[in-house]
Structure 1
Amino acid sequence: MKYDKGRIQKTQEEWIAGMVAAGHYACVCYGYDPAVKVIEMYMQLLPGQEMKFENGVILK
């Protein structure tokens, strides 16, 4: 999670890319509200469903 004008570091980009490559869902959320929305969506997924947002996306 990032705040305001925080920037994603190179190591964070690499970590996200690694998670995506391993088949996990990873994204960057700017602030509390987008983070809660993503977590709630993820928790409600049924087997076989995918996240609405693209994997590796930046949400503001």
Structure 2
Amino acid sequence: MADPLDKATSKAPATLGEGCLSRYDPEDMGPEVGTEFPDAAQLWEKLQQDSDENPE
């Protein structure tokens, strides 16, 4: 059986830390690894408005 990772289209960013403290290295992230999200600010504002209207 072929390795499914051989077909990956982009490389994963480097990680920092180990175990449950492992996280992606922000210095190694960019648009080529899928971190581009131009509508993030608009989504954040909408989520904030929704949470203000429906406090739990």
- TM tier relative to shorter chain: under 0.3
Larger Rg, first or second structure (1 or 2): 2
